[in-house]
Structure 1
Amino acid sequence: MNKFQNAVYQFMLGRYGSDQFNVFLVILAIVLMILNLFFIRNSFLSAIVWLILIYSLYRIYSRNIYRRRAENDKYLSIIQPIQKRISMIKKNREDHEHKYFLCPECKQTVRVPRGHGKITITCPKCSHKFDKKS
């Protein structure tokens, strides 16, 4: 077994491997495959699933690390605002003593106490002032 592990390790040297974008592609392919299997039954959608999976494998075994990293960074820059909003909603649900806002200028998370009515909030990062109801 040790020989096999060494062979796989040698094969993967200098290759990109998996990242967040690859995980997204595989999950997207699985969701589309399930939709195609039970609801849609379309050969065109099946071809798209195969193309997504092939592209994912291409990214894993690619030696162009710079390009794959740039693709992942672009994906993260698209998904980060969505994740930040979801995190904000989650924090506001869980914390009953504070309310969380995003600064309109720099998107910094700002925490203020609840129940103080309409207040002016100053962002600690960029010093931008904005009015919100706590």
Structure 2
Amino acid sequence: MKEKIIRFMQGRYGAYGADALTKFLMASGLILIFISSAFTGKNTGLVCFLMGWSVIIYCYYRLISKNVTKCYAQNQAFLSRTSGIRSFFRKQISLLQQRKVYHIYRCPGCKQKIRIPRGKGKIEIKCPKCSTSFIKNS
């Protein structure tokens, strides 16, 4: 049985796993189905339910599709459209992780972000960009 599945998936787009667009569509489909449970007995709930299932079916269609170039192009278009949002959240996560070890100050002269290790007491900071000096607690 395992060999049959492997032979079936050969040459298909989903043979190497789901891409970013498929993961996003799957999550949004599941969210729509979850939202539909809040609107039971209303047309809104039925519409959300049907939209959620249609998105999930489309995800599986993309996974078993043999048109690899089209699916790849769709994923690249999705990644290029969402690059700004993804980079913003990546930067925010990086800043939150660094706040445990470093203080992040802004230079009063040029507004450059400067990373200073925590726990050094009162120190004089010299901006590497504009050479402005200012005193802060680390």
Q: What TM-score bracket applies, with the shorter chain setting the length?
A: 0.5 to 0.7
Q: How does 1:96-115 map to 2 (within 5 A)?
A: 96=99, 97=102, 99=104, 114-115=105-106
Gaps of 5+ in 2: 113-138
SS at match of 1:67: helix
Q: Is the CA contact (8 Å cut-off) linking 1:29 and 1:49 kept in structure 2?
A: yes
User: What is the rounded CA distance, in whole Å, between the counterparts of 1:98 and 1:85 in structure 2?
Assistant: 20
Identical aligned pairs, as a percentage?
Answer: 23
Q: Is the CA contact (8 Å cut-off) linking 2:33 and 2:53 kept in structure 1?
A: no
Q: Is the CA contact (8 Å cut-off) linking 1:92 and 1:98 kept in structure 2?
A: no
Q: CA RMSD in A?
A: 2.2
Match of 2:84 in 1: 81
User: What is the rounded CA distance, in whole Å, between the counterparts of 1:11 and 1:90 in structure 2?
Assistant: 40
Match of 2:32 in 1: 32
User: What is the rounded CA distance, in whole Å, between the counterparts of 1:62 and 1:16 in structure 2?
Assistant: 6
Match of 2:21 in 1: 21
Deviation, structure 1 residue 98:
6.6
Q: What one-letter code is carried by the residue in structure 1 that aligns with 2:87?
A: K
Q: How does 1:1-134 map to 2 (within 5 A)?
A: 4-17=1-14, 18-39=18-39, 41=42, 42-96=45-99, 97=102, 99=104, 114-119=105-110
User: What is the rounded CA distance, in whole Å, between the counterparts of 1:117 and 1:91 in structure 2?
Assistant: 23
